[in-house]
Homo-oligomer: A and B are copies of this chain.
């Protein structure tokens, strides 16, 4: 699957290059084509890459600013861009920037000392990284496959996102209650606990997974309900970290929210 998709990418570049040539105002059907001065392939490729880089960066920033409507797969032209971003310095630099900002904020908060100050963390691609899974599934170019993804979750092998582990330990040290709020179902409780502990997340105050009555709810609605329940119990939600806007928006929103980067998928 990934192989055939990736093959399309250079083909797309070639066809875009063809489009650019055919738009040359000197070429029309009444004029014999002038002799083409062919640019070296590497130079053409470079121009295309710059254009792809520009457009895919704009697309990624639009994702992070919550400007896009629901999307099912990443743009086909951006698969190489997303791969390079996830594996290069960009993703880890973005994670560190958000984590550092969250840490500064956490340290600035004066806690009440009554044990009711809460920091919420999402799990997938917030605490635990699914990049090893998406590396085998074209970084979001394939339509999401729940069966395949469940097999990955059952392995309990997702590594920690290091910047998040650092923040996690810091907010615990500061005295926040830590509530983990995930879209995973109750059936995944035990593998999720196993994976968290293996990755270095050793303690938490609550681990909230979707109960049977939560299945089919949109993530924004489900997570808002769970946050509202916390507020009814007297908790103050002071921080919330998630890689999806549906982790952060809705009702009973946190005083400060931290959107971790994720250009691979969108959960409404």
Q: Which residues of A contact B (CB under 8 A)?
A: 54-55, 57-62, 64-69, 89-90, 93-94, 96-98, 101-102, 104-105, 256-259, 261
Contact = CB atoms under 8 A, between A and B. Distances in A.
B64 A97 contact: no
B67 A258 contact: yes
**In this complex, which of A93, A97, A258, A259 has the most chain B Cβ atoms within 10 angstroms of its Cβ?**
A97
A47 to B, nearest CB: 13
A30 to B, nearest CB: 32
Given A54-B90, A67-B258, 7 more contacts: A55-B97, A60-B61, A64-B64, A65-B261, A67-B102, A67-B259, A69-B104
B62 A61 contact: no
A261 B64 CA distance: 11
B94 A61 contact: yes
Contact of A61 (B54, B61, B66, B105): B61
**In this complex, which of A58, A62, A98, A259 has the most chain B Cβ atoms within 10 angstroms of its Cβ?**
A58
A259 B59 contact: no
20 contacts: A54-B93, A55-B97, A57-B90, A58-B90, A58-B93, A58-B96, A58-B97, A59-B97, A61-B64, A61-B94, A61-B97, A61-B261, A62-B94, A62-B101, A65-B65, A67-B98, A67-B102, A67-B258, A68-B101, A69-B104
Contacts of A257: 66
Given A54-B90, A54-B93, A58-B97, A65 B259 contact: yes
A126 B60 CA distance: 20
Contacts of A93: 54-55, 57-58
A58 B101 contact: no
Contact of A65 (B55, B59, B64, B90): B64
A55 B95 CA distance: 11
Nearest to A60: B61
Contacts of A60: 61
Contact of A66 (B62, B96, B259): B259
B69 A105 contact: yes
Q: Which 6 A-B residue pairings sit nearest by Cβ, starting from the closest? A: A58-B97, A64-B65, A65-B259, A58-B93, A58-B94, A54-B93
A54 B258 contact: no
A97 B67 CA distance: 9
